[in-house]
Amino acid sequence: MTKKVLLKPAIFAVFGLTVLLCISFAGCKTDDEIIGYASRLRTARETLQDSIVLSAHATMNGTNLTKLERGCPVKFYFSWINGDTVNLQIRDFHVGKMPLSLSFSINLKFMDLNDWDKDEYTGSGWIKFVGDGGVSTMSGTERDGNGIVTGYFNANTKEIEFVTDFNVASVTLDVYQQSIDFGRMANYNDELAEYESALAALGQ
């Protein structure tokens, strides 16, 4: 009887400490949340591979260089470094009257959504990726590594969106929310020619 009495305070102490730790670290994740994140990350690794064509709006000093509402097709290259980090590259990007070509490389780390993200990206399947220290090369000249990327990927719908701030010449590249279409790689040259033709029709 004495042993049982002595054990009760110890059990309550351990339970109380666990609760305090959970509160201190902004809540303990459930097993379902942990498994869900792992599944979304695995889908991101399977989907974001090699080269993918996405539509984007490029701006310089606040001016939309792509002109067209749908933006322009851009090739993005993905190479995974470890479990949750992927290298993203843009190679020799140039659009319209943009006075230079731009290449870019940055490492992106994937993570679960925070509370603010969950308010903005409702529904299931979303995962976040961020990176800083991106290195830009403009017309063959390498610039300081201070580019940043913030984006989101949905493992259920295969939708993606992200913004790249090159921190060079006030150039940004906005990949608005869209579904990934792997068939666009095979049709990239035709799609680019169609875009440039439409741009020429506008006198750009």
- Tens-of-pLDDT digits for all 204 residues of the chain? 444 444 455 444 444 445 444 444 444 555 445 569 999 999 999 999 999 999 999 998 888 889 999 999 999 999 999 999 999 999 998 877 677 788 999 999 999 999 999 999 999 999 999 999 999 998 777 776 799 999 999 999 999 999 999 988 888 999 999 999 999 999 999 999 999 999 888 876
d(C-alpha 150, C-alpha 184), whole Å:
23
Q: Looking at the structure, tell me whether residues 26 and 38 fall in a common domain.
A: no
Domain that holds residue 23: 2-31
Return contacts of 146-149, CB within 8 angstroms, 24+ apart: 147/104, 147/106, 148/106, 149/88, 149/106, 149/108
Which residue do the tokens 């990007």 mark?
Answer: 93
CB-based burial label for 23 (10 Å; 0-12, 13-18, 19+): exposed
The length of the chain in residues reads: 204
d(C-alpha 151, C-alpha 165), whole Å:
12
Q: Looking at the structure, tell me whether residues 27 and 115 fall in a common domain.
A: no
Tokens of 4: 């049982």
Q: Looking at the structure, tell me whether residues 22 and 49 fall in a common domain.
A: no
- How many independent structural domains does the chain possess? 2
Q: Looking at the structure, tell me whether residues 175 and 161 fall in a common domain.
A: yes
pTM: predicted TM-score of the whole model, two decimal places: 0.81
Q: Looking at the structure, tell me whether residues 9 and 84 fall in a common domain.
A: no
Q: Looking at the structure, tell me whether residues 11 and 63 fall in a common domain.
A: no
pLDDT of 202 reads 83
d(C-alpha 163, C-alpha 134), whole Å:
13
* C-beta of residue 106 within 8 angstroms of C-beta of residue 78: no
Q: Looking at the structure, tell me whether residues 20 and 67 fall in a common domain.
A: no
Q: Looking at the structure, tell me whether residues 23 and 51 fall in a common domain.
A: no
Amino acid (one-letter) located at 20: L
d(C-alpha 138, C-alpha 60), whole Å:
14
Q: Looking at the structure, tell me whether residues 25 and 76 fall in a common domain.
A: no
Q: Looking at the structure, tell me whether residues 10 and 74 fall in a common domain.
A: no
pLDDT of 29 reads 53
Return contacts of 26-33, CB within 8 angstroms, 24+ apart: 33/112
pLDDT of 141 reads 77
Q: Looking at the structure, tell me whether residues 20 and 40 fall in a common domain.
A: no
Q: Looking at the structure, tell me whether residues 52 and 111 fall in a common domain.
A: yes
pLDDT of 28 reads 52
